[in-house]
Amino acid sequence: MNASRFSAPFAAEAWPAPAKLNRFLHIVGRREDGYHLLQTLFQFVEYGDWLHFELRDDGRVVRASELPGVAVDDDLVVRAARFLQAQVPCSSPGVTIRVDKHLPMGGGIGGGSSDAATTLVALNHLWHCGLDEDALAMLGLRLGADVPVFVRGRAAWAEGVGERLTPVDIDELWFLVVAPACAVPTVAVFKDPELTRDSAPIRMRDFLAGGGRNDCAAVVYRRFPEVAVAAEWLAQFTQPHLSGTGACVFGGFPSSAAANVALASLPAGWRAFVARGLNRSPLLERLIRG
Ligand SMILES: C[C@](O)(CO)[C@H](O)COP(=O)(O)OP(=O)(O)OC[C@H]1O[C@@H](n2ccc(N)nc2=O)[C@H](O)[C@@H]1O
Ligand SMILES: Nc1ncnc2c1ncn2[C@@H]1O[C@H](COP(=O)(O)OP(=O)(O)OP(=O)(O)O)[C@@H](O)[C@H]1O
């Protein structure tokens, strides 16, 4: 899983779609529509997918890469492009989109949401739509709860369903992220009757003092034993955390070298990567470059 380091010599025109980690995740309630109210801290990592956009003048949105198990019309990249197209008042521009996919699907590190956000931000720029960040984040929220934070591109304390974002600056640790060989459907975790849904709200200072856990972990470890095994393995080196609803587990290290020592003893056949935490998404640097 090394090909997607953002330092890799990718084509200058490619757009990054980084992964996110939920440094903690508490469920503090539930809305009337069944959606869960969360408290979480999002941080990006320097690792992710790469997207390529080729403009076309026939108004079509075409997917040039395969995504196993995801039909074209369901692909968040295609849905994001069509969503934006519907906002553009002038003649409809088209695009061919290719995704170099590196992030595991159903991994809890936001691959689909990040791809969707990068599509919104890149096409808003390339199609000259002129939507501001707030408008793009609102569009993004209709595609998924995690899309707005990727659109805004700043590590954030999040509340609500993840859309009430306050930018934060936290330690940019090095992380070892282990991706167990299973996909965890977010909806299955949120439907589980045993899920903790009544955590007391905490403050940023509580997290900084070492507080915070992932309320989904008990349910995920029980239903997906591979995830529990990965967390136990990681616990030899550092405190393991579940990201989102899994399947990925991660641990922080003070240096790249320390994280790579742990990576070197990864059991054969497991997938993992080492990457630095980022408070600013590489998508923002790419947008500034134009
Ligand atoms: C768990 C997190 O990854 C934390 O970052 C996100 O909140 C999940 O975000 P996501 O994958 O973009 O999820 P969505 O596609 O919006 O939601 C998938 C399903 O999960 C449930 N869902 C999701 C988010 C939320 N706050 N409460 C929920 O109950 C809903 O049944 C929803 O239909
Ligand atoms: N471009 C895409 N990339 C990944 N998944 C996609 C994409 N388009 C649609 N999907 C669907 O979305 C589902 C969730 O994908 P994703 O990789 O975002 O999960 P996740 O990492 O668990 O997300 P989150 O952390 O936001 O809960 C996939 O199982 C797939 O069916």
Instruction: Verify whether residue 101 is a known catalytic residue.
Output: no
Confidence check: pLDDT of 226 > 60: yes
Place of tokens 């859309």: 163
First-to-last alpha carbon distance for the chain, in angstroms, is: 28
What distance in Å separates the CA atoms of residue 52 and residue 202, rounded to the nearest whole number?
A: 40
For residue 271, with 0-12 CB atoms within 10 Å meaning exposed, 13-18 middle and 19 or more buried, which class applies? middle
Find the length of the chain: 290
Tokens in use for 286?
């790419």
Binding site feature residues for ATP? 104-114
Return the ligand number nearest the Cα of 104: 2
The predicted structure's pLDDT at residue 10:
57
Amino acid residing at 220: V
pTM beyond 0.90: the answer is yes
Comparing CA positions, the residue from 102, 94, 106 lying closest to residue 70 is 106
Confidence check: pLDDT of 174 > 60: yes
Tokens in use for 92?
């409809």
Binding site feature residues? 104-114
Confidence check: pLDDT of 234 > 70: yes
The predicted structure's pLDDT at residue 3:
46
Instruction: Verify whether residue 33 is a known catalytic residue.
Output: no
- Domains defined for the chain, CATH in brackets: 1-290 (3.30.230.10)
Tell the residue nearest (CA) to atom 7 of ligand 1.
145
- Which value does ipTM take for this structure? 0.94
